[in-house]
Amino acid sequence: MKFRLLLSFMLFFPLLIPAQTASKPTVADAEQFMNQAEARLNEIVVKASRTGWVQENFITDDTEALAADANDQLTAVTTDLVEQSRKFDGLSMAPELARKFGLLKLALTAPAPHDPALRKEMTQIAVSLDGEYGKGKYCRTPEDCLDITAIEKIMGENRDPKQLQDVWVGWHKVGAPMRQRYARFVELSNQGAREMGFRDVGAMWRAGYDMPPEQFSAELDRLWLQVRPLYLSLHTFVRARLAQHYGAGVVPPDGPIPADLLGNPWAQEWGNIFPLLGLPEKSRGYDLTQLLQAKNLDAKGMVRYGENFYKSLGFAPLPPAFWERSLFTKPRDRDVVCHASAWDVDNKDDLRIKMCIQVRDVDFVTIHHELGHNFYQRAYKQQPLLFENGANDGFHEAIGDTIALAVTPEYLQKIGLLDKLPSADSDIPLLLKQALDKVAFLPFGLSIDQWRWRVFSGEVTPADYNKAWWELRLKYQGVAPPVTRSEADFDPGAKYHVAGNVPYMRYFLADILEFQFYRAMCQASGYTGPLNRCTFYQSKEAGAKLNKMLEMGASKPWPDALETLTGQRQMDASAILDYFAPLKKWLDEQNKGLKAGW
């Protein structure tokens, strides 16, 4: 959890900001306002994060009520602070101070109306949607109920198309009851955004990237056009192989891929279907899940591997409280929000992760990702409160994934998980497995907020929520629902980030940035071989360069932070194209004679 998210879960403290005189505000007034605001907000953040932790780890009516009340009070305070800060609009001040005022206005992901009754209504809706997702289950019988962890396991391993369709439909029922409340939430948060001076919530979110919202949208289009040819090659190959496996009656050879056949409840990452793609058994040279299970690891043992990678780069070990207070496995006696997240509870050293860890390859990668948040949080802890965040939210998501890219066979051998390095002819299977997650995710990561921005702007009305959702999924991903959907459904609500109101474009940006960061760290480590074979494990030089960027937090515009690590000032997808270049060539050979697109 990072500052902008935590503002949804804070307690109320009176903010004793001195009243301004009738004279024109001065820079000294602005500095005094900001210093006192940050001091008070720091107190609130610590108490708020504890409230949020309890609510997500002990989902009951009582904890939801407490979180809703805290959220309401915090939103009121933050909204009032933003309103007070507007008296300094137009005042010439130092760039650092001006940046703080800008970040304050972007602090809430769900700005609320000034009216106390409407604000309370909105915050109650927000907490109820989050809790409803966390408690969501598909009950095939009264005695056979599947939570999202069980759903993910079935959809990752089962190959019966009828059973996959049944589980997919069952899970997506979790969204339908949210539909009307979500529409009301959009209405109320849009009112709050307009009262703050933004056109709508989507415009407010896009304003958080050190450029006008329209320019940011253009940047996304540029990045997508860079990577789209690679995605089309992957999509064409996967569709053809699935059609061979399931038959053309299940997977149309020239149409979209049914969303329930891609190994994941949301069709966002496809790595689980690798065994169906026709490559020889064990062609990757090893199975990371089997290697991990052979070590008889428990959840903490999995996390130790992740911590040790960061330590090898020169970072200090995680504090003892991390091991005492994190949630590593799903409790047997209660509902929790199993969606993995990283927490910085006290803005100092009370770092935690919350995961329902299984001993498998995907969780091994996720652990590296979540610890990236924690090490980033600790690196910028000396910054003022409003700078205690990533350079942009894509940076925060990219750090751990950058480390995970370095989980190569060479790394696995160095840490004793792999005895013998696979031969060079295993590169294509390894790259294909990674592309099924990294490349396949790109259009999904792009489409979620494209849908929400249209919803917030009013371009998509509640009457067309589900229709617009699947139109965008088709446009970008080339996937379609396995059964006919209607406006009685609300399939966006079956995705945590929609129910929890977590902006999603950060994940698309992270998928681009992680390769850009990775290439720079490989260069810093002195590596000169093929990019996909690089690991910078144990490179203090790469770690020092990374830490220099992490320590900046949000204190400078993100191009400054990007330049510190990479030497570039523009997000650039060429690194992901370099990384997967051997695979792209191979895919295009396999796809000869096949129709690309849908």
* DSSP per residue, 221-271: HHHHHHHHHHHHHHHHHHHHHHHHHH-TTTS-TTSPEEGGGSSSTTSS--G
- φ, ψ at 210 (rounded to 5°): 55, 35
Q: Is 269 a catalytic residue?
A: no
What is the model's pLDDT at position 158? 96
Give yes or no for a contact between 20 and 414, defined as CB atoms under 8 angstroms apart: no
Task: Give the span between the Cα atoms of 272 and 263, in whole angstroms.
Answer: 5
> How high is the pLDDT of residue 15?
38
Residue 248 annotated in active site? no
Task: Please check the confidence at residue 399 and state whether its pLDDT lies above 60.
Answer: yes
pTM of the model: 0.88
As a whole number of angstroms, the distance between CA 268 and CA 92 comes to 45
- Do 425 and 332 belong to one domain? yes
More confident residue, 108 or 29: 29
What are residue 258's DSSP bridge partners? 480
Nearest Cα neighbor of 252 from 484, 478, 476 is 478
Fill in the DSSP letter of residue 488.
T
Q: Distance between CA atoms of 479 and 133, rounded to whole angstroms? A: 23
> What are the residues facing 141 on neighbouring strands?
144
Query: Does residue 397 have an active-site annotation?
Result: yes
Crossing angle for the helix pair 427-457 and 179-195, to the nearest 10 degrees: 70
Place of tokens 């690798």: 274
- Token reading at 126: 């927000």
Residue pair 586/542 in contact by the 8 Å Cβ criterion? no
- Indicate if 479 and 578 belong to the same structural domain: yes
Mean pLDDT of the chain: 91
pLDDT confidence band for 566 (50 / 70 / 90): very high
Catalytic residue among 121, 152, 307, 370: 370
Domain boundary among 136, 161, 179: 136
pLDDT, average across residues 29-50: 88
At residue 218, the pLDDT reads 94
Instruction: Tell me the two tokens of residue 464.
Output: 């067309």
**Active-site residue (options: 182, 380, 507, 518):** 507
Does the pLDDT of residue 4 top 50, yes or no? no
Considering the candidates 172, 235, 368, 497, report the single residue annotated as catalytic.
497
**pLDDT on residue 13:** 30
Residue 64 domain flag: yes
Report the pLDDT value the prediction gives residue 22, as an integer from 0 to 100: 56
The reported pLDDT for the residue numbered 518 is: 97
Q: Which amino acid is at 214?
A: E
Q: Is residue 238 part of a domain?
A: yes
With a cut of 80, say whether residue 425 has pLDDT above it.
no
In a domain, 106, yes or no: yes
Is residue 18 predicted with pLDDT exceeding 90?
no
Query: Is 369 among the residues known to form the active site?
Result: yes
- Is 202 among the domain residues? no
- Rounded CA separation 119/111 (Å): 9
Average pLDDT value for residue range 278-307: 89
CB 573 within 8 Å of CB 213? no
| More confident of the two residues 442 and 3 | 442
Pairing of strands 351-354, 341-344: antiparallel
Residue 478 Rama label (left phi>0; alpha psi -120 to 50; beta): left
Token code pair at residue 184: 């009301």
Question: Which residue among the candidates 340, 471, 563, 581 is catalytic per the annotation?
Answer: 340
Kindly state the tokens that stand for 587: 């895919």
Percent residues over pLDDT 70 in the chain: 96
The dihedrals phi and psi of 555, each to the nearest 5 degrees, come to -70, -20
Burial (CB count within 10 angstroms: exposed 0-12, middle 13-18, buried 19+), residue 463:
exposed
Whether residues 562 and 441 share a domain: the answer is yes
Q: What whole-number distance in Å separates Cα of residue 269 and Cα of residue 403?
A: 19
* Mean pLDDT to the nearest integer, 549-566: 97
Domain match, 227 and 128 both: no
- Is the pLDDT confidence value at 460 over 80? yes
User: Is 65 annotated in the active site?
Assistant: no
407: phi then psi, degrees, rounded to nearest 5 = -80, 70
If asked whether residues 397 and 536 sit together in one domain, one would say: yes
Domain annotation covers residue 160:
no
Tell me, yes or no, whether 118 and 230 share the same domain.
no
One domain for residues 248 and 114: no
Q: Does 326 share its domain with 446?
A: yes
Looking at residues 334-358, what average pLDDT do you find? 90
Catalytic residue among 172, 235, 339, 368: 339
**Same structural domain, 445 and 571:** yes
Six-digit token pair at 344?
A: 């910085």
Q: Which of 113, 136, 159 is the last residue of a domain?
A: 136
The predicted-structure confidence for 515-540, as pLDDT tens digits, reads as follows 999 999 999 999 998 999 899 999 99
Q: Is the pLDDT reported for residue 214 higher than 50?
A: yes
Do 119 and 260 fall into the same domain? no
For the cut 60, the answer to whether the pLDDT of residue 238 exceeds it is yes
221 and 122 housed in the same domain: no
Query: Residue 281 — very low, low, confident or very high, per pLDDT cuts 50/70/90?
Result: low
Flag whether 465 is in a domain: yes
Q: Which of 269, 307, 397, 514 is catalytic?
A: 397
What average pLDDT does the segment 268-292 reach?
88
Q: Quick check: 329 pLDDT over 90?
A: yes
373 is catalytic: yes
Beta bridge partners of 479: 257
**Choosing from 231, 373, 391, 520, which is the catalytic residue?**
373
Q: Is the pLDDT of residue 11 over 50?
A: no
User: What confidence category does residue 14 fall into, taking pLDDT thresholds of 50, 70 and 90?
Assistant: very low
Look at residue 421 and tell me if it is in a domain: yes
Measuring CA to CA, how many Å separate 542 from each of 282, 387, 525? 33, 24, 5
Residue pair 439/230 in contact by the 8 Å Cβ criterion: yes
Is residue 114 among the annotated active site residues? Answer: no
Whether residue 96 lies in the annotated active site: no
Classify residue 423: in a domain, yes or no: yes
- Say what the pLDDT of residue 479 is: 98
H or E element in which residue 141 lies: strand 138-141
Q: Which of 136, 155, 185 is the last residue of a domain?
A: 136
Query: Strand 144-146 relative to strand 138-141: parallel, antiparallel, unpaired?
Result: antiparallel
Structural domain count, the chain: 2
Same domain, 424 and 291: yes
**Domain span at residue 488?**
217-590
Active-site pick, 172, 235, 368, 369: 369
